């Protein structure tokens, strides 16, 4: 089996940039993961954004 690795879409990066970076490192995306980010203001917890991750599998040579 191939090696797997997680790639995070960075703050100043588009999804396409992240996928291109994966391609350059020899990985193919197999799963997209989105995690919500919350922040606390006073007594409230409000959504503040999301973290996008791609699970990549190493290409077969």
pLDDT for the residue numbered 2: 62
2 versus 3: the higher-pLDDT residue is 3
CB 28 within 8 A of CB 22: yes
Q: What confidence score (pLDDT) does residue 60 get?
A: 80
What pTM does this model have? Answer: 0.80
Query: Measuring CA to CA, how many Å separate 39 from each of 10, 25, 26, 52?
Result: 19, 34, 36, 17
State the pLDDT at residue 61.
66
The full set of domain ranges for the chain reads 4-58
pLDDT category, 54, cuts 50, 70, 90? very high
Q: What's the pLDDT at 10?
A: 93
Residue 22 clears pLDDT 70, i.e. is over it: yes
């Amino acid at each position: 089996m191939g090696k797997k690795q997680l790639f995070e879409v960075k703050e100043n990066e588009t999804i396409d940039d992240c996928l291109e970076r994966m391609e350059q490192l020899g990985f193919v995306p197999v799963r997209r993961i989105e995690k919500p980010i919350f922040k606390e203001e006073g007594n409230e917890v409000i959504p503040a954004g999301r973290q996008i991750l791609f699970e990549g599998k190493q290409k077969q040579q």
